[in-house]
Structure 1
């Protein structure tokens, strides 16, 4: 089987100026030829006829998709997106031979403010970009004498971060890379962790494996207990699990395909802007719950990151390698759970099967799966409350 040459860098360029030992500044600079190719392919897209009443179960109708792709091939201004992204300090570093991209926003506060580092992880099908509203909210304001330094990495194989080479995409593997980023590269001895979707697994393993450094964990995607700890469910827990499983019964085919035929799917999506937009944006809309959360240009920005970095196939690694995932150990560090609206009713006792020291519990009143993107102020308030009461910089 032939393979395309492996690229060490995405279509965005990495600057050469050294920022600090082990770090280089990163800037988004997509080539004009890459922009022209995307626009051409979008303009030449072909769309199917409607298939029965399929639109009723989808988050994205064909009419809206056609309008999105037409804008992508026309007036969508990627250069304006680049300009805004490049206002956010971004860097790359190499950890154990692995290229990692991350944003780092240092908090603004008074000299006497307590500075709290926090690492924030995105999931699939999103990126570091969708976590920036939360990062900016946390770093931009001192509250109750606390200011946050926020680190937002691109997970391996997402965006500018290289795909893992020679190691599976599992919670422990990615967690060790991120721990080295926070401690060895950035010099933080104690920090908080927050993650969503695929990134929640990284966050959970980070806290489980490095309680000496992770001072606390905040979860809007609280861990489901592994089979060994999911026995003898209470009636409340069983009703919630049955409800949750029913909600996902007809919505999980994407995960099966990404885990069993990732290359086949990646070929289709890497060759077609319309296909990529359909695959990604349908999930963004379907999982966000009721309401219009984002503009068309915000949705196209997410799709553009995957297109220009050629990372849709490598983003499937977490699904392909899930079978290699070890059981999540008990998490003993202090934890705050804010139940995202898409998992409303999540029983606290179910979370306590994994988190042994829950200090704070709340239900987010609105939003959906993409908590940090949809409701950054709500999530930031939960993180601030937890940090004020429970962050110990000494340990």
Structure 2
């Protein structure tokens, strides 16, 4: 069914009141960002969110897109589609976001790609306006629904896929399990599954890389979300400044650049507002709590692949990619763009999509 986001004004009024009475912490001694988001940065963001940010402007932007709420095998999924402005026969593409962001972070990329193709952006189950899965979360279960969305619901015979973070696992499973329909995959969060494949020996370069991205300083959030999600959610769902701090600290830490310099502040606030008005921060933790141990261990992907190494994983070895992708058509290292690649460097992702299609 068709869907439109129109947040009731009392919800926005309540948010503004909570921001007016927010209590912010004292700064722990040490350099800025070494202990999380600096309170003075948080204070500036709270001020902007309370007095300058315009949520209604984002709602008006969404009027340019198709929106639906669709039942995909028992799960209500919010879907945004940017139809091709100048149809050229180019393959449609499904884009999947990750945590802690949303479909809104994919819209700039969608605007670039929809010049010549349909672009479909479903929100992950439990994120934003999408309901959680009726079963424990898995990348495979989500990919199965994305395939139904693209083929059964939207009628595409062939399509491309791109995903990041949690969405990267969905994109990998989609390509691995539906090669008859997935024409190719672009991956800027390329699979690590080679480390877990039975009988596969890792090289010294691969082991060094995997150790480099397993920093304890950056894994505390995942441990908390995966072990005590309801306790954390109770704090964040009641405090917009707390939610803002939890999300923005990761946006800053994982991006390419210093702090938030790669982002428009209002785009960051849009992302956080989506979590606030949908009360979905707790359900967004479910992949961390529920995903099976072998969720990343998809079959070897045989469809054509374009691998883009983003700056947050700059040393990712091609040999590791070759353990998961059997038909790599291009392997490039980005000069710009970190974990939030489509948000930070949409031009580079759009170019990679077009290049991969030209190589099919």
Is the shorter-chain TM-score for this pair beyond 0.5, marking a shared fold? yes
Structure 2 residue aligned with 1:269: 236
The Cα offsets for residues 294-347 of structure 1, whole Å up to 9 and x where unpaired, read as 222111111100000111000001101124544322111111101111111211
RMSD (Å) for aligned C-alpha atoms = 1.5
> Within 1, Cα distance between the matches of 2:271 and 2:244?
9
CA-CA distance at 1:109 after TM superposition: 2.4
Residue segments in structure 1 that go unaligned for 5+ positions in a row: 1-23, 141-146, 391-395
Tell whether 2:315 aligns with 1:340: no
> Within 2, Cα distance between the matches of 1:149 and 1:282?
33
> Within 1, Cα distance between the matches of 2:294 and 2:138?
5
CA-CA distance at 1:41 after TM superposition: 0.5
Tell whether 2:10 aligns with 1:33: yes
Structure 2 residue aligned with 1:298: 267
Decide whether aligned partners of structure 1 residues 230 and 242 sit closer, same or farther in structure 2, where only a CA change above 3 A counts: farther
Does the CA contact (< 8 Å) of 2:65 and 2:83 recur in 1? no
SS at match of 2:118: strand
Structure 2 residue aligned with 1:136: 111
Structure 2 residue aligned with 1:331: 301
The Cα offsets for residues 214-234 of structure 1, whole Å up to 9 and x where unpaired, read as 111110000002423584222
> Within 2, Cα distance between the matches of 1:299 and 1:171?
26
Structure 2 residue aligned with 1:200: 168
The Cα offsets for residues 126-162 of structure 1, whole Å up to 9 and x where unpaired, read as 000001111110112xxxxxx2211011011111111
* 97, 103, 108: which one aligns with 2:85: 108
SS at match of 1:101: strand
Structure 2 residue aligned with 1:125: 100
SS at match of 1:73: helix
The Cα offsets for residues 184-242 of structure 1, whole Å up to 9 and x where unpaired, read as 00001111110000000000011111111111111000000242358422222222223
* 203, 214, 220: which one aligns with 1:234: 203
* 272, 278, 293: which one aligns with 2:245: 278
Structure 2 residue aligned with 1:49: 26
TM-score normalised according to structure 2 size: 0.95
* 144, 147, 150: which one aligns with 1:176: 144
Does the CA contact (< 8 Å) of 1:337 and 1:361 recur in 2? yes
Tell whether 2:349 aligns with 1:379: yes
Decide whether aligned partners of structure 1 residues 54 and 46 sit closer, same or farther in structure 2, where only a CA change above 3 A counts: farther
The Cα offsets for residues 5-64 of structure 1, whole Å up to 9 and x where unpaired, read as xxxxxxxxxxxxxxxxxxx22211111110110000111111111123274425631101
Does the CA contact (< 8 Å) of 1:270 and 1:307 recur in 2? yes
Does the CA contact (< 8 Å) of 2:300 and 2:324 recur in 1? yes
* 314, 336, 358: which one aligns with 1:366: 336
> Within 2, Cα distance between the matches of 1:269 and 1:29?
23
CA-CA distance at 1:270 after TM superposition: 0.1
Tell whether 2:125 aligns with 1:150: no
Tell whether 2:44 aligns with 1:67: yes
Query: For this pair of structures, how many residues does the alignment match?
Result: 356
